[in-house]
Structures are given as structure tokens and as C-alpha cells.
Amino acid sequence: MSTTMQSPRQQAGREDDDALVERFGSSRRSRFSRHVILCAIGLFMMYPLMWLVSSSLKPNGLIFSDLSLWPAAWHPANYTEGWTALEYDFGVYFSNSLVIVVLSIIGNLFSCSLAAYGFARLDFTGRKLFFALMLGTMMLPGHVLLIPQYILFAKLGWLNTYYPLLVPNFLATNAFYIFLMVQFMRSLPTELDDAARIDGCGPFRTFWSIILPLCRPAFATTAIFTFISVWNEFFGPLLYLTDPELYTVPLALRQFVDSEGQSAWGPMFAMSVLSLAPIIGFFIAGQKYLVKGIATTGLK
Amino acid sequence: MKAAGLGLAAAPALAACGRGFGGDDDSGDGVTLNMVWWGDAARAEKTQAALDLFMERNEGVAIEVEYQDSGPYQDKLATRFAAGDAPDLMAMRMDSLREYADRGALLDLGEYEGDLDLSGLSDSAATLAAVGDSVFGVPAGLNTIGFVVRKDLAEQYGADIPDGDTWGWDDLAAFAQTVSDASGGEVYGTGFDAQTLANIVVYCRQQGEDFFTEAGELGISAATVQSWFELIDGMRRSGAYPPAGFFEEIGGGPDQSYIAQGKLASQIIPTNNFLGYNAACGGSLALLRIPGETRSVRRGQSVDCPHLWSVASASKHPEEAVKLLEFLTNDPEASLATGTTRGVPANADVAEEIKPSLEPDDQLATEYLMALQEEELPRSYTYPPGGSAIADVLDVIAVEVEFGRTTPADGAAQFIAEAEGALAG
Amino acid sequence: MTASAAEAAVMPEAVRPPAPLRGRRRARRDRAGYLFLLPWFIGMLFTIVPFFASLYLAFTDYDLLTPPEWIGLENFTAMFSDPALLQSLKVTFVYTFVSVPLSLAAALGVAMMLNRGIRGLPWYRAVFYLPSLLGASVAVVLLWRYVFGLDGIVNAFLGRFGVEAIAWTSDPDYALTTLIILHIWTFGSPMVIFLAGLRQIPVMYYEAAAVDGASRWRRFRSITLPLLSPIIFFNLIQSLIASFQTFTQGFVMNNGGGGPANSTLFYNLYLYQQGFNQFNMGYASAMAWTLLVIIAAFTALTFISAKYWVNYDN
């Protein structure tokens, strides 16, 4: 985080992260007790990851008999075995997933922010109807849409390609993110638009140079949520991808499992842990943008 | 406009650096068969070896294979059928066979008698997928359920393992009681699901009834359901069988099984999983028949299959699909490649031929099944449409009985009423 | 405005238009709005066709394999006498009305703690978000077995306080509770949204309040809550919709069966069973549209209530 190019006002905002707000009446003792509470909750939240990591390092026979978090015997070879256990090595699946995720994030950010700006800050005929329709699409259980959608994508010749997984994201079909951005944009003062209009800005300029920069937390949230949901998605890729060379990580992970025979649990756990790494990494890298809102950009 | 433009611009740009953006349609001149089944990567390898052999011998036929875990497999299969995009050759579950066959979605293999020779199959195997005069599938392999007992635990707790060919349900109860008592509750003598259809079907047949009749109706009586519940309930009360809530329905597979973890001394398994279970139990398992086979009204066990191979009636290449099916069923080399990953080869001669190449545990399971096939067994009838709803009903009521929320008698009556309703609806 | 009374009821305050315009200016504004919505309009083609296809199927007998047959309202009337369906409604309502408030409260509480400039904030944020990252892979399903199993960590922990082992997942009296606990445990998603929202609140308000000597509670009541209300509103609507449609949790916990004894038979799970296991896609579609009406009713109620507590202008 560089602070060299910022105005004093912005620096005051940035301070918020560390000391500024803590000045408002929290004693050292209350701070300490807060850390204790947070650490206790943190341990509770960490347990599953620790369990997964620990299982991924155990030999196959111990995974289900040795319940302790500290493996009685170590078997790091699960990782090397798992990486090459399937038809293609996991690098292929990881890069497939990555291509889909990155494009989905771009698509969602782009198309949903446009639609959200339209809904939140512009007035046009039928706006309420369209908004209600958009919310409505969130409310219908997806299972009954699968077959018509499959037929539609089959007619377009998109089976066994990434198009069914990607194109909808470029067309703002994810109402959740539109609604999220709408709420963020609506909480910005309307004087902003008025001021921009007086300065001669059209709606596109206003959108691009005024609203977008102020909605960074909403974009960070959208990007993170898209990453997680697309990265973990199983059913869409299952339906539309048939060639194992195109498989995503969740599809590949499922191929370790055979409910009727001996499954390669160790390698499966190892690859599951690896599959979490990009999500956690992306969240850690992206989360600093979660906090770059209006408060830290020094808006009056 | 901007968004659409960007979307269209982005896709081809990435096509250059990635797969999955179409354009590599490699369907040449020949016939391409689409074959789907469920299983894992290990099974895929064995299957592919057999298919490679087939393609070698049949130039111009390419096979596109796709496989998933069994749950997702069902969903995708149903979706593809509904969308008119059915695969040519597919793995079909016994309990969904008639859902598809009755609606004309599957090819009647009886019409391909000349191309597909089923004479090498035992009667009980050949009729598994028969509906009326038509045959809608061929067993991909054969299996049945068997009782496995941990020899090491039996010895440790001083319980003699009864003769597996002639034992009765009371022998099981006595054996289990001894183990439970001697272990002080550490190990339960036996444990098997009351709600698993395969289990109650055998028990019911032993009582002289067919769970599903030839006409596709419910043939089990309330009294039989009640005695099944009571059989388990009695053992549960005496401690021979685990208490309510013991069986947790998450995950599955031999490695996580209670018997492998040493919490149970015996349980029921599908015989084609014997190798996996015995490996998970350190080689200490004995494979017995289901209790009561020689002491009841009639035999209960039957020859089943983990899944069938069926051909879609909409297949554009039925001849080739049937040819592949013939190869998989009757060619020993195909079965040498696949082994017993889908059970014992349905063709008895083929099974005999590949037996020496199998691992000892698989040989044992194969012999168990071949012996069974040579005996006079009552025929097992296909699940009628709506059969899966009956499995759901049994699942609910068995748990109600397990937790004492209803009595075995009331539960049995309720089961009959709801199951008949499900079949009628 | 051409909005009908019904539309107005669905979205009164949340999307409040500026003063109406007339004539050419009106047309110009319309054009700008439609341009922004263009991708969405195209996308709606992908959504709306399947959407209305399923509405049609709701009035048919459709078994996936043979063409649908029009049967009028039969699917809808059959729902009233389907005990499993009523059970699934009950499960879904209990789950929603217990877990949504609790998880939102947890999310807001922790977000407040984290927002007040605390050292190690990125670390805490990541850790609290972890459970929401896990998804529902096979490994994660196995994980639950060992957390909530009879000899799992939860029972081991409770055992120290003398509590007898509980069959968290296989006892019909506990299974739903277990899923509710799991849901609350993934409060990370709404927490992240709250955190982002909290950072939109200008620090100057707090500075001014501190100068006035306002108490912490006072600052929460009169600054944080009103300024965060659009985000609370979003999280509430979103959680309601998602919770009514809960599927994966029930699917994961009990091999998709809704067991033990239908105690975790979520509405959506039952719908899926009907559609894909029992080939009653017509019935499943009717169920889907009934759920849509239920969700829309609750969403509308929330939108109406928004007038009294959601604050859009500072």
C-alpha cells in the first residue's frame, strides 16, 4: 500500500485501518478481549482446513482411522501421485478452471455493473418491471431450467465448449451481482450525479468516472464471489463438458471417487487442498480492495 | 452493445490460448459411438483398454467415452435423454431400467438376436433386463449380496463363525450377541441397513414373496415387512446390532465402512466389492451367504448386476453399438481387460476363462457367484417404474422404526400403504 | 410512469425514480437506460426462454422421455395432498426463519468487530471467510462426517462437559439443527458484504459523533445502522432467496435423500427428486413456480417494510 501520491484527506481515511477508529473510546483491555474472542472464533473456522490438510498428508489407510490432526505417519507423496493420477495431469484442469474463472469475473464485472447503473441511477420506461423480472429470475429453482437450457445450448452448438459457462456471464444473467451493485450504487449520494450533469457529463461519463471508482468494494465482492462460485461449480461443467481435456477441477476431483470400490482418498484430499489454494490466494489478494470505498477515497 | 462486443471479442481471443472454445470437431468419416457409464478413473483405464481393442478390430468405429460418479451420472443421463441428445451405449441402473424402457427410450435387444448372443448367460442373468418379451439391457457384470465377517474380531471375542452356507438368522443373532457382549460394546456383532432394498428383497423372497412381482406390483406383505423390522429391532435391543443413529449416511466406500474401522464384526456387501472391503479390513474377511437361505420357505439370494448396458432407441448407430455390446459380453479378451470392475462377466464361459487372471479375493467372489448361478434360484423381477419412490418410502419408515417413533407393526402397515400409493401414482 | 399497482407493490421505495419527465427528454433518458441494460436484455433471452418453458411444463404431465401432455392445474392440486411436499415446506421454513436471522446477526456482529480498526484484520477476515470457500466437494463432505460424526470433534468437545454423544446427522431430531449450525458457520459471505458496506460509511460522521461525545451504542444506532441499511436489506433479501432454495446442504449431508426420515428434505431437494429421480418434471416445474410465488411474497413483504427502515439518501 503506497501512500506517497495521496492527498492529506485520503491519508486520514487510510489511517482508518489502523489507529483512527480505535481512538474512539476503546481501551487497551477491550482491544485485548476482542482479540481473544476473534481468535477463539478463528480457531473454530480454521478447523476444517486443518483437517483437510492433515488428511491430505496421511497414507490412504490412516485417513479414516487416525482422527488426530497431527498425522501419525506422513505421506506427502499424495500430492505427486494425485497430480498425475487422472487422464491428464492436474495442471490441465487447473488451467481450464482458471480460464473459465477469469473470463467469468470479467464478464460479471462488466455486464452487471452496466445493468446495475441503469437500474440504480437512471430512469427509463419499464424500469420497475424489468427490475422485478430480474429479481424473479433469482427465485425460480434452477433444476427446472436445466433441460430447456441444455436444449438451447445444444441448438446453438455449444455442447462440449466453455460457451454455456461463459457467455451468460457476459450478458448479466447473474441477478445476484446486479442487485448487489444496485444496492451499493444507491447508497451513494445522488448529488454526485447532479453535479456531474451540471458539469456536462453524460450518463456514460458519470458511470465511468464517478460511480465506478466509488463502487470498488462492490466490485471486489463481485469478483471474489464469482471466483468462489465458478471455481467450485460442479453441475454446469458436468452437463456441458464431455471431453476430459476440458474438465474443471471439481469434475476432475470427482473422478477419484468410486462408491463401489477402492477410492484413492489420499491423492483426492491432496488435490482438494490444492484446489482451495487459488480461492484462498485470490481472497487474500483481493480483500484489500474490499475496504477501498468512499471512506478511503476522501469523498465529501 | 459494448458488453456484447466485448463478449464476442474476448472469446475468440482466448480460443487461441485455450481449449473449450469449439472448432476442434474431429468427427471424421467413420462412425462415432458415444458410450457413457459411471465409475472412477481406475475403472476408466480398464474400460479404455477393452475399447481400444475393439477399435483396433473395427476400423472406422470411434468410441467417445464419458464417465462420472454415479449420482451426477444419473442427472446428466436424464437431461441428455430429455434434450434428445441420448448417448448410444450407456450404463443403466436396474432401478431406472423400466423408467426408460417403458417410455420407449431403449432399444429392444431381442431384435438383434443374430448380432448379440446371450446364450452364454445363465437364465437368471439373461432375464435381468427382460420386460415382457423384450430385453432392454445386458448385465455389464454380475454380483449379488453376501455377508462378510471379520475373522480376526470373531476370534478375538471367542465367537465361532457359523457355516456360511447353512446358517439362519438366529445363528447370526447369536454370533453377533457373543461379539457385542465379549467386546463390552466396543464392537457390534452385526449391522446392515434395514432400508436397503437389496437386503429386504432377499429376506422377503425367503418368506416366499416377491418384493416386486412379475406384473410390476408390490408383492411383499405387511407381515413380512414387520418381521424384518422386528428381526433388526430385536438385535438392536439386545445389543447385538448398533443403537439408533449409529449409521451415518455420509460418504461411502469400503475404507470408511464400519467393518473396516472395526466397529462392526459383520455386515452385508455387494460381492463385487469384496476385494475392496477385504483390503480395507486387512484381509481378514470371510464371505458367507445371507442367513436363512436353507432354512426358509425358499431361497432368497439372486444373481444381480451392478449395472446393465443398454442402447438408446434413438441411437443412429444401433448395429455398431450392439456389436460393441457383443464384444464386451462375449469376448474373453474384453473381460480380461476390464477384469471384474463391473462384477463377474455375465457369460459363464468368459468368467471361467478369466478367473485365473484375477486377484485371489476376486476369484473368491467369482466362485461364490458362479456357485450361486448353478443353483435353482427364484427369478428376480425388474423394478417397476416408481420403484425409486418406494426406496424413499422405505428409507423414511425404517428410520422412524429405528428411533422408536413408530412400532414395527405400524411402520410395516404404513410402508405397504405408501408404497402401493407410489406405484399407483 | 406506466408501472402498474402490482409493480409498485413489489418495489416501492428501493428503486425510487427521480421526478418524471416528458417528451423528447424522456425518450433520451429511456435510450440511455436501455443502452446500459443492453447486455442484460440479450442475456434475458437465455434466461426467459427456459423460464417460461418451465412455466408451461408446470401445467403438463412431463416424464422427460415422452412429449409433455397438458393436464391443466392437476400438478398444483396434487401438491396439496402430498405429505412429503408439506414436510419439505416445513423443513424449508424452519431452516430459513432460524438460520437467516442468526447468520446475518453473526455476520454483522463480526463485521462490526473487524471494522473498528483492529490489528491483523486481513488475517481475521480470511479466516472467518474460510468455511464459505470450501464448497461441497467430496473432501468437504467427508470432513463433515468427521466433524459431526458420533466420534467426531463436536461430540468429543461436548463430551468434556459430560454431554452424551449425539447422532448429529443420523438422528431425525438433530439433523436439521446440524444443517442450521453449518449455515450459520458460513456467515463469511454476508460478512464480507457487510464489511464492504461499512467501508462506504464516511469516517467524518464518526469523527463528528466522537466530538459530540456520542456513546458507542448511539453511534451504532444513528450512524452505522441507517447508513448500512441498503446493504442489510440486500443481505436479507439475498439470504431469504438463497435459503428458500437450499439444495446443496441437504444434498451433501445425506446422500441426496433428505434423510433421516425426511427431516432434511428441503423443498428444492424434493423438487429435484421428483424431476430427476422419479421423472415427474411436470410436477417439479409446478413445485418450482409455487416456490417462486412464495419467495416473491416474502421478498415483496421485505421490500414494503424497506420503506420504514432502509435509508438511501444520506
Per-residue pLDDT reduced to its tens digit, A259-279? 555 667 888 899 999 999 999
Q: What is the ipTM metric for this complex? A: 0.88
Indicate the residue of C64, C128, C203 with minimum beta-carbon distance to A16.
C203
Q: What are C206's three cell numbers?
A: 464518526
Of B322, B347, B362, the residue that ends a domain is B362
CATH 1.10.3720.10 holds for C80-309:
yes
For the cut 80, the answer to whether the pLDDT of residue B19 exceeds it is no
Name chain C's partners: 3 or more CB pairs within 8 A. A, B
Check whether residue B287 and residue B170 sit in a common domain: yes
From B89, C47, C262, select the one nearest A145 (Cα to Cα): C47
Backbone angles phi, psi at A260, to 5 degrees: -105, -15
Check whether residue B264 and residue B391 sit in a common domain: yes
SS3 B98: helix
Q: Could you read off the pLDDT of B273-288 as tens digits, one per residue?
A: 899 899 989 999 999 9
Backbone angles phi, psi at B89, to 5 degrees: -120, 135
The upper half-sphere exposure of residue A300, i.e. CA atoms within 13 Å in the direction of its Cβ, equals 2
Q: Which residue of B has its CA nearest to C168?
A: B245
Give yes or no for A156 touching B (CB within 8 A).
Answer: no
Mark out the alpha helices in B162-209 (DSSP H runs).
Answer: 169-182, 197-206
B250:C169 CB<8 A: yes
pLDDT, residue C139, reads 81
From A107, A132, A125, select the one nearest A182 (Cα to Cα): A132
pLDDT bin (cut points 50, 70, 90) of residue A162 is: very high
Strands B145-150 and B308-311 come out as unpaired
Question: Which residue range is the domain that position B114 belongs to?
Answer: 30-142+306-362
* CA A116/CA C15 separation, integer angstroms: 11
Sheet containing B138-139, strands listed edge to edge, beginning at the edge strand earlier in sequence: B61-68, B31-38, B89-92, B308-311, B138-139
B77 versus A42: which is more confidently predicted?
Answer: B77
pLDDT bin (cut points 50, 70, 90) of residue B321 is: very high
Indicate the residue of C65, C167, C253 with minimum beta-carbon distance to B245.
C167
**Residue B270 is part of a domain; what is its CATH number?**
3.40.190.10
H/E stretch holding B63: strand B61-68
- Taking CA atoms, C218 is separated from A206, C152, C229, in Å, by 35, 43, 16
Check whether residue B82 and residue B116 sit in a common domain: yes
Q: Could you read off the pLDDT of C48-87 as tens digits, one per residue?
A: 889 999 999 999 999 999 999 999 999 999 999 999 999 9
Longest dimension (CA), chain C: 76
Residues in C closer than 8 angstroms to B405, CB to CB, are 172, 261
Number of domains in chain B: 2
Q: Which residue of B has its CA nearest to A251?
A: B68
pLDDT bin (cut points 50, 70, 90) of residue C169 is: confident
Which segments of chain A belong to CATH 1.10.3720.10? Answer: 89-297
Q: With b meaning 16 or more CB within 10 Å and e meaning fewer, what string describes A269-282?
A: bbbbbbbbebbeeb
E-assigned strand segments in chain C:
60-61, 69-70
From C264, C201, C261, select the one nearest C229 (Cα to Cα): C201
Q: Which residue of C has its CA nearest to A32?
A: C118
For the cut 50, the answer to whether the pLDDT of residue B6 exceeds it is no
Q: Could you read off the pLDDT of C243-302 as tens digits, one per residue?
A: 999 988 777 666 667 878 899 999 999 999 999 988 999 999 999 999 999 999 999 999
Indicate the residue of A86, A154, A245 with minimum beta-carbon distance to B83.
A154
* CA A64/CA A265 separation, integer angstroms: 9
Contact A31, C116 (CB under 8 A): no
Strands B31-38 and B61-68 come out as parallel
Torsional sign, CA C107, C108, C109, C112 = positive
Domain A89-297's class? Answer: mainly alpha
Query: Would you say residue B370 lies in a domain?
Result: no
Q: Which residues pair with C107 in a beta bridge?
A: none
pLDDT, residue B210, reads 94
Candidates B2, B106, B249, B255, partner chain C, best to mutate (most C CBs within 10 A): B249
B388:C256 CB<8 A: no
Residues 252-271 of B with CB under 8 A from A: 252-256, 260-261, 270
Q: Mind telling me how many Å the CA of B104 is from chain C's nearest CA?
A: 8
* CA A64/CA B404 separation, integer angstroms: 30
For the cut 70, the answer to whether the pLDDT of residue B15 exceeds it is no
Residues in A closer than 8 angstroms to B7, CB to CB, are 107, 111, 167, 170-171
Query: Would you say residue B16 lies in a domain?
Result: no
Strands B89-92 and B31-38 come out as parallel
Which three-class secondary structure string do you get for B132-156? CCEECCEECCEECEEEEEEHHHHHH
Residues in A closer than 8 angstroms to C247, CB to CB, are 141, 143
Residues 35-54 of C with CB under 8 A from A: 36-40, 42-44, 46-47, 49-51, 53-54
Give yes or no for B44 touching A (CB within 8 A).
Answer: yes
B27 versus B29: which is more confidently predicted?
Answer: B29
Beta carbons within 8 Å of B227's beta carbon, 6+ residues apart: B207, B408
* CA A123/CA A78 separation, integer angstroms: 58
SS3 B218: strand
pLDDT, residue C313, reads 61
Contact C263, C205 (CB under 8 A): no
Name chain B's partners: 3 or more CB pairs within 8 A. A, C
Question: What's the CA angle centered on B210, arms B204 and B216, to 5 degrees?
Answer: 140
Residues 159-218 of A with CB under 8 A from C: 167-168, 170-173, 176, 178-180, 182-184, 186-190, 202-204, 207, 217-218
C15:A180 CB<8 A: no
Chain centroid, CA A198 distance in Å: 37
For the cut 50, the answer to whether the pLDDT of residue C14 exceeds it is no
Domain ranges across chain C: 21-76, 80-309
Check whether residue B283 and residue B325 sit in a common domain: no
What's the mean per-residue pLDDT of chain A? 83
Least confidently predicted of A185-189, A218-222, C7-11, C250-254: C7-11
Q: Mind telling me how many Å the CA of C293 is from chain B's nearest CA?
A: 26
Candidates C65, C86, C270, partner chain B, best to mutate (most B CBs within 10 A): C65
pLDDT bin (cut points 50, 70, 90) of residue C13 is: very low
Residues 90-129 of B with CB under 8 A from A: none
Query: Would you say residue B118 lies in a domain?
Result: yes
B248:C63 CB<8 A: no
* CA A20/CA A12 separation, integer angstroms: 8
C200:A295 CB<8 A: yes
